[in-house]
Structure 1
Amino acid sequence: MRHPSGEQYVIASGRSRATISEVGATLRTFTVEGLDVIDGFTIDERSTDGRGQVLAPWPNRLTDGRYTYGGHECQAPLNEPARHDAIHGLVRWLDWSVVSRRSDQVSLSCVIRPQPAYEWQLDLEVTYTVADSELTTTFVALNVDREQAPFGVGFHPYLTVGTPLVDHVDLTVPAIAFLDPEVPAETPRMVPVSGTAKDFTRPRSIASTELDTAFGELARGDDGRAVARLEAPGDGRWIELWVDEGYPYLMVYTADQVASADRRRAGVAIEPMSCLPDAFRSGLDLIELAPGASWRASWGLRVSAR
């Protein structure tokens, strides 16, 4: 039988178990001590609302699907027609090939070929590794084209600590600024979170707050990592998402507009992003890969399922 998300690659170590799908190299499930900490999808479904997907060669939205780079006029399909934009890149519905596999780790790769939406060739590889109560994701992009190539990447895990709704969860986002939604995406401006409903620099209940917000200016530890956290107050369950310095932004989405009504506000998407939305148009934090150059970054999850 063929599953909608293709072959399934299960990796496990200690109390942790993850399932990665062939389609999109998608993180379909992640459990610790039997607790689902990813609001993913079943083996009989396809990913909806970006669940667990790899977002490349751009994350988030690209207004009108149109941009110019290196003398190329590019037009991506408008796969979010209601907003007249192209969302989350080109690789999330591709079949990815296994590069290597062992009991606690799998690496998958795909190739982006020149096309009207993107006129360059990239080799992409993502590696998922589980350890006791942890998952680490490492992503590598290699420019195999003859020209410099624009690039951005993101990931889209929906996190949960087992509560029916995110309203009852404490959230921490280590960011002192967020993207101002009132200015054009081509000319982005970050504004302080202080004094706003988007200030989660200290843990507080999400309650009725609705977020679909790009956060930046992340506070980092001595190891260069920034850490966001969800916690179920009073019962000891928490999940942390960390990003290294390759990801200067976190998109936080409280799932208020997902397609299935019974999944709304069931999890919080905390999305590592190498750049802001519309980076192909604004150029802000856009990765520019010279021919033969590569880019690497990691993010991960840590869990207490007590």
Structure 2
Amino acid sequence: MTQDLTTISSPDLSVTLSPLGAEMQAITLADGRELLWHGDPAHWSGRAPVLFPIVGRAPDDILSSGGVEAPMKQHGFARRSTFELEEATASLARFVLTDSDESRGVYPFLFRLTLTYRVEGAQLSVLAEVENRDSHDMPFGLGFHPAFAWPLPGAEGEDHHILLRDDAEPALARLTDGYLTDDRLPSPFDKGLLTVTPDLFEADAMIFPEGSGSELLYAAQGGDAPALRFRFENTPNLGIWTKPGAPFLCIEPWHGMAARQGAGPEITERPNTVRLSPGATQRFGYEVNVE
């Protein structure tokens, strides 16, 4: 059954959203050019999933949390859950997911996850708020997984690069069978600049456990393409990923990462797990400015 989509817009861009996973389906410029990957399952059916209550894999896809050990697929269950559309205006949409009998069977906490999308001019903002409605601390990871066109529209055949502020050169980590290794490799950035090439992803995603700073630019060297300038909030880890031969590039700000290689299933042992106090709310987000 097809679920109703919601579209929000400004004079410069529009964003289409699905209640399944509260996931973006399209980011469209006023001239009709598409910025978001279209989800062709021949490569990857995702478009921009939100990751909760874990980012990445759990050992043997089993997670232990709050005394419950249960199956947990990669990146958690929020991406496969139907959210309620709580509010919608011309330029804003807010979706909510709360715990259920099904969720408590694998993740035994009372929670409220709110995702708010807003467009203003050429800016898209994405905000996640996690509320602990339980009587004890709630551990979790939260991440964003948007896939953007590569090449960007209007820059076919051109080199693409990522530029970090302050000439940042963050250390690189890799995954082995989906698990994070403790090794730190030399940064692929040179004075903040990385030219994006397919060979960078032959060993799967590039993970930057210390993040990339507060700002990132994804742009083409030439052509008539828009550039995307990202600003991050409370997402200290970063992943960059594509599948071999696929025409998309995922720029993924996270708070939390995959389980370490050789680790057990306990959620609190996962890198950079958030521990939220009873009654508390924590927010995470990013902005994309189209330039």
TM-score, scaled relative to structure 1: 0.79
1:1-306 → structure 2 map (5 Å cutoff):
2-3=1-2, 6-33=3-30, 34-41=32-39, 48-70=44-66, 72-77=67-72, 86-113=73-100, 114-160=103-149, 161-162=152-153, 168-172=159-163, 176-181=170-175, 185=179, 189=182, 191-194=184-187, 198-199=188-189, 202-211=192-201, 212-220=205-213, 226-237=214-225, 238-244=227-233, 246-256=234-244, 264-278=245-259, 280=267, 282-304=269-291
**Percent of pairs identical after alignment?**
19
* Cα pair distance change 1:232/1:164, threshold 3 Å: closer
Measured in 1, the distance between the counterparts of 2:17 and 2:258 equals: 26
Measured in 2, the distance between the counterparts of 1:284 and 1:240 equals: 27
Equivalent residues of 1:231, 1:239 under 8 A apart: yes
**SS state at 1:191 partner:** coil
Measured in 2, the distance between the counterparts of 1:89 and 1:166 equals: 36
Measured in 2, the distance between the counterparts of 1:219 and 1:268 equals: 16
* Cα pair distance change 1:56/1:103, threshold 3 Å: same
Equivalent residues of 1:165, 1:265 under 8 A apart: no
Equivalent residues of 2:256, 2:270 under 8 A apart: no
Equivalent residue letter for 1:193: P
Task: Give the superposition deviation at 1:108.
Answer: 0.5
Task: State the aligned residue count.
Answer: 272
Task: Give the superposition deviation at 1:243.
Answer: 1.1
Q: Deviations over 1:56-92 (max 9, x none)?
A: 111221121234344x142224xxxxxxxx2010111
Q: Deviations over 1:174-203 (max 9, x none)?
A: 5511224469947x5362534xxx336533
Equivalent residue letter for 2:77: L
TM-score, scaled relative to structure 2: 0.83
Measured in 2, the distance between the counterparts of 1:121 and 1:281 equals: 17
**SS state at 2:128 partner:** strand
Equivalent residues of 1:166, 1:268 under 8 A apart: no
